[in-house]
Amino acid sequence: MANWTKCTRKADNTPIYLNLDTALCLRWNEADNFTVVTLPGGKDFLIRVLEHPDDLLKGAAGQKRASKD
């Protein structure tokens, strides 16, 4: 099952859902307080979200756990 998590896109504060199973890298930008999510496809496949990587991973783990109950 896909590992989806809800987050907020930095560009326009729109809620989006990311499939973290497809993410190659989560990198926190300390200076501007956002996470860069790198997806397969090269440098043009980046999403910036407001949540910290730890929060994204916790949210995805919680949703995965809830789906098993």
**Which pLDDT tens digit goes with each residue over 4-41?**
999 999 999 999 999 999 999 999 999 999 999 999 99
Task: Report H helices in the chain.
Answer: 53-68
Residues 6+ apart with CB under 8 A from 1: 64, 67
Identify the pLDDT of residue 65: 46
Residue 8: its pLDDT value, please? Answer: 97
Joined together, the tokens standing for residue 59 give 């949210």
User: Which residue do the tokens 């890298």 mark?
Assistant: 25
Mean pLDDT of the chain: 88
Residue 59 has a pLDDT of 76
Residue 27 is predicted with a pLDDT of 97
